[in-house]
Structure 1
Amino acid sequence: MLNRDGHLQLDFIYDIIDAIQANWAFIYPLLVLLVELVILGVVYAVATRGLTNRLRDSGISREASTGIVLIIRIVFFVVAIVLSVNAFGPDLAALISLSTLFGTALGLAFSQAVSGLVNGVYILVARPFRVGDYVRIGDVEGVVTDITLNYTRILQPDETRIRLPNTNVLSTRVTNFRVPVEDVIQDVTKERLSTDDYSLRRRLTTALYRLRRITSGEIAYRYTFDITLHYTLDHLRSRRHFAVVCDEWDDRFLVTPEFQVWSSDSNGITYRFTIVAEEPSDLIKYVGPLMNELLMVYSEDEDAHEEAPDLPASTAMPHDSTSRSSRKKT
């Protein structure tokens, strides 16, 4: 706009500048808040997209992925509220403080549910096991079929499905039988080089061939279980029977089943058996029949042993220790 002398009128610009200067104490926090919220929005978009892709690639269920993203969204929302409180001053801060007290009381009322969600997030992040693993959690064992924010679903060997609360999972001893194939190959190779038994070397060579041809992934499942025999039983006969059965079951597993004397106590001598399977479904399918056949030694000859009164002749039970190699002792 020009005045009578033909010069541009800048009064309205000066008025805007004066208004900004007069209200700068109020405008500046708004500008800072706007920049902070823009940065926060960018970080939120990148974080949620990256987290969603990673959760999808890890095979986590859609329910669990949605729950985790929701928690992240709530966290960013809380951060945005805190930034807004800092921008608008103490009056709004007092109001938010009252709201915070109310939210805290509400949170305490739902503390158990919140604890379950936190435990679920920890399991999904720390990943002590994943979907498809064969695990033992307390006295429950089987294949993990799903992990949600509240429950872990297990398919047991008898085909029943059980849901374990994640709070119980974290407070219980967990054994994951998944092992890298490379670790198994190293153990088998070491044993093959250290033995002079030709038949054993041949079986170990076959085992190495099976391990190296695995195409479903770079993992296998090393499972152990214990059988305890009373002292009055014929242990030499039982060990011969164990060796025969293990050889007969060689083609069901990646490595010939093996056993060793593990411990002894007042109940008898405990033998630990180790099997290595390619798939967790093989454990569900074969472990029960293998245990049954190992115990068939008692039906072959009634005079082979003499049962002790008031004591079980034998017990067979799975074991959750996988830290020591189980090697055949005869």
Structure 2
Amino acid sequence: MQDNLDTLPDDIIKWLQDPNNYINVVYVIIASIVIWFIGRIIKFFIKRTTRIPPDAKNGTKLIITISQIVFWVGALAAIYDLKAEDFLASTAVLATAIGFASTTVATNIVGGFYIIITRPFGVGDFIQVKGTSGVVLEIGLSYTRMLRIDKTIVTVPNSNLLNANLLNSNISVEQERKKQEESKKLKLSGVSIGIPDILSSSMMQSFKQEEIVRFSTEIQLKLNQYNPPLAAKDVKTRLDTVCEEFVSKFGFKPIFYFGQHVFRQNTHLVITAKDPNTLIENYADFMDSIMKSVFSEIQ
């Protein structure tokens, strides 16, 4: 150990006296700049192009970053003429250390790749997962960012999305047409399936968008705030009036149906909108209008 310390200054002096070392440093700097610049250009075009889906861009950028690191390490090994066995051994040790230090990060990254490949949802979709509802703003490799229905932004680790029941509220208009056709056939044959026609046939035929958004929620109306309690038929009339008012905002008429009724009326709401942003922009006003309409006498 002491011998190594004694020879350290001499080794440094020898290194400084060798002109080849200065040339190698210049080569490393040039290689680093070239690799960084090429990666930067590729990432710029990925950001600007419309050929790659938005939810796949982050994954593509990560692959480019990893490729940059591999090329840089390869250039370093070539410049300093590192032996293959030493290079592979150091790489294995580094990979093992990173693996133990970032198990959670690795799980989230695997989840990100899985979401990008299988595409259970995409950027712009309205999803519901673990009590959180909102439109997807960004799908990263370790997390997904959502704009919630209350207009706040939440970041969800991708590993959580893999292990949760997830509902994508975006609905294909073409699939909706097929469901209505099947529903009509069943009704003609005398079978009632109890599914309301949210979209009229003429509207479905003329609708130009590929997807719509359908969001369902439940509220409790405390009818015992009235004396005597408000009758269910009166609640239905008031709710129907509010739903008619919001047809122009959502693009479709919201529907509702009642669940258990004692002194608290469980009311299930199904809101169909032209797109996620329309739903989020008008949701709070819609719920507020319901409360004001039902409880107008005690405002």
**Above 0.5 in TM-score?**
yes
- Matched residue pairs, number? 230
Equivalent residue in structure 2 for 1:142, among 102, 120, 134: 134
Query: Do residues 167 (structure 1) and 163 (structure 2) align?
Result: no
**Cα distance change on mapping 1:229 and 1:291 into 2, 3 Å:** same
On the 8 A contact 1:207/1:256 being kept in 2, the answer is no
Structure 2: stretches of 5+ with no match in the other structure: 1-45, 72-83, 189-196
Equivalent residue in structure 1 for 2:62, among 37, 59, 67: 67
| 2:254 partner SS | strand
Identify the residue that residue 271 of structure 1 maps to in structure 2. 267
| 1:270 partner SS | strand
Identify the residue that residue 211 of structure 1 maps to in structure 2. 204
On the 8 A contact 2:257/2:269 being kept in 1, the answer is yes
Structure 1: stretches of 5+ with no match in the other structure: 1-51, 78-91, 196-203, 304-330
Query: Do residues 57 (structure 1) and 52 (structure 2) align?
Result: yes
Tell me by how many angstroms 1:152 deviates. 1.0
On the 8 A contact 2:170/2:212 being kept in 1, the answer is yes
Q: Distance in 2 between matches of 1:95 and 1:149?
A: 28
| 1:256 partner SS | coil
**Cα distance change on mapping 1:102 and 1:187 into 2, 3 Å:** closer
Q: Deviations over 1:69-125 (max 9, x none)?
A: 556x59x99xxxxxxxxxxxxxx8899578646632431122222122111111111
Q: Deviations over 1:218-265 (max 9, x none)?
A: 111111121223464422211121122222322333432111124x28
Identify the residue that residue 100 of structure 2 maps to in structure 1. 108
Equivalent residue in structure 2 for 1:248, among 245, 250, 254: 245
Identify the residue that residue 47 of structure 1 maps to in structure 2. none
Equivalent residue in structure 2 for 1:295, among 273, 281, 291: 291
Instruction: Give aligned-pair identity as a percent.
Output: 23
The residue type paired with residue 277 of structure 2 is: S
Identify the residue that residue 281 of structure 2 maps to in structure 1. 285
On the 8 A contact 1:229/1:269 being kept in 2, the answer is yes
| 1:292 partner SS | helix
Query: Do residues 237 (structure 1) and 249 (structure 2) align?
Result: no
Q: Distance in 1 between matches of 2:50 and 2:115?
A: 13
Identify the residue that residue 12 of structure 2 maps to in structure 1. none
The residue type paired with residue 143 of structure 1 is: V
Q: Deviations over 1:162-193 (max 9, x none)?
A: 32222233234322111111233345566778
TM-score when normalising by structure 1 = 0.57
Specify which structure has the higher proportion of helix.
2
Identify the residue that residue 127 of structure 1 maps to in structure 2. 119
| 2:272 partner SS | strand
The residue type paired with residue 132 of structure 1 is: G
TM-score when normalising by structure 2 = 0.62
The residue type paired with residue 67 of structure 1 is: L
Q: Distance in 2 between matches of 1:213 and 1:137?
A: 32
Tell me by how many angstroms 1:270 deviates. 1.6
RMSD: 3.9
